[in-house]
Amino acid sequence: MLELGLVLNKWGNIMVDDNYQTSSKNIYAGGDLAGFKGTVAWAAKTGREAAKCIVKALV
């Protein structure tokens, strides 16, 4: 992940902003990768939210 220029927090999770965007402008993350709650439902929710942010950025 460091090779991609991604910034990690002290727990080793990928840092994301409010739009699930990482420190690399073309990479988004959610769920366990970004340190969110470790449930399937929460991972799915953050995945959907990240996808919405990606579409918004492309349009």
pLDDT digits (tens, 9 = 90+) for 2-23: 788 899 999 889 999 999 999 9
Q: Output the CA–CA distances (angstroms, integers) from residue 34 to 1, 42, 49, 51, 59, in the order listed.
A: 12, 11, 13, 14, 24
Cα distances (Å, whole numbers) of residue 49 to 2, 5, 6, 10: 24, 23, 20, 24
pTM of the shown model:
0.80
Over range 26-49, report the average pLDDT. 86
* pLDDT reported for residue 30: 86
Q: Which CATH superfamily is domain 2-58 in?
A: FAD/NAD(P)-binding domain (3.50.50.60)
Q: How far apart are CA 4 and CA 36, in angstroms?
A: 21
DSSP label of 8: B
pLDDT at 35 over 90: no
